[in-house]
């Protein structure tokens, strides 16, 4: 495993989960003796997420906090990636991360530019509500069919070679969460080596979006079509 990684964590209204997430992650990284930085990108939260993130940053100089005034997962991800200094960039969500992912990538990272933790492989375990599972699988099929994307999933856990992915990120135009799909489609089209490994995921809190996500997804997909037209 590389000894120089940046863990990028977009955070929006995560006051309930953020403290335990950071404590567990810090312990995990120390246990594995990984030289790291953790970048929390708080974006437009209405709770104490920013206050909590800054308190951790004051106690640990490896944790950096970025504040964005407006909620935007895409902008949070973009800002975190641009500020990162690690040789490799790891994308974790507060409610979806897997310490085993760091172990599983040890043998693979030097052979690939991007490793995606897929929720859609046969060995994966997606225990989220049915609506979330349908949306994820549906998006994966659309990306394969209309954008010729070879993978099964674009959202969630990833590890990426920073030098290889930053030029691709600069090409990206979307500001929504669909930037993850745009980024990987562009990476594939630019010849980056992408592979997937299975991950297991469960819901750690009441679903914040519910059926709103289903109604929002078509608009996100249309925006993706417009970017690549």
Could you give the domains of the chain?
A: 5-227 (3.90.550.10)
pLDDT per position as a tens digit, 134-164: 888 999 999 999 999 999 999 989 999 999 9
Whether the CB-CB separation of 64 and 83 falls below 8 Å is answered with yes
What 3-state class would DSSP assign to 184?
helix
Q: Are 202 and 149 in contact (CB under 8 A)?
A: no
Cα separation, 161 vs 5, in Å, equals 9
Whole-prediction pTM: 0.90
Q: What is the pLDDT of residue 203?
A: 66
**Per-position b or e across 190-227, b if 16+ CB within 10 A of its CB:** eebebbbbbbebeeeeeeeeeeebeeebeebbebbeeb
Query: Mind listing the pLDDT tens digit for each residue in 28-83?
Result: 998 888 878 999 999 999 999 999 999 999 999 999 999 999 999 999 999 999 99
- The 3-state DSSP class for residue 188 equals helix
């Amino acid at each position: 495993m590389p000894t120089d990684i940046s863990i990028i964590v977009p955070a929006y209204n995560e006051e309930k989960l953020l403290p335990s997430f950071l404590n567990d992650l810090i312990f995990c990284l120390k246990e594995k003796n990984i030289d790291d930085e953790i970048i929390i990108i708080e974006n437009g939260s209405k709770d104490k997420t920013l206050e909590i993130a800054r308190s951790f940053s004051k106690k640990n100089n490896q944790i950096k906090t970025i504040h964005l005034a407006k909620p935007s997962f895409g902008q949070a991800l973009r800002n975190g990636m641009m500020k990162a200094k690690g040789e490799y960039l790891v994308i974790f969500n507060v409610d979806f991360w897997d310490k085993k992912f760091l172990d599983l990538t040890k043998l693979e990272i030097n052979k690939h530019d991007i490793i995606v933790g897929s929720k859609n492989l046969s060995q994966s375990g997606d225990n989220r509500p049915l609506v979330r599972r349908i949306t994820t699988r549906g998006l994966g099929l659309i990306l394969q069919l209309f954008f010729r994307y070879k993978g099964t999933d674009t959202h969630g856990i990833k590890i990426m070679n920073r030098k290889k992915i930053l030029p691709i990120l600069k090409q990206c135009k979307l500001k929504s969460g669909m930037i993850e799909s745009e980024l990987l489609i562009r990476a594939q089209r630019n010849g980056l080596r992408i592979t997937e490994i299975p991950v297991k995921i469960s819901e750690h809190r009441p679903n914040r979006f519910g059926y709103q996500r289903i109604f929002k997804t078509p608009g996100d997909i249309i925006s993706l079509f417009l970017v690549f037209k």
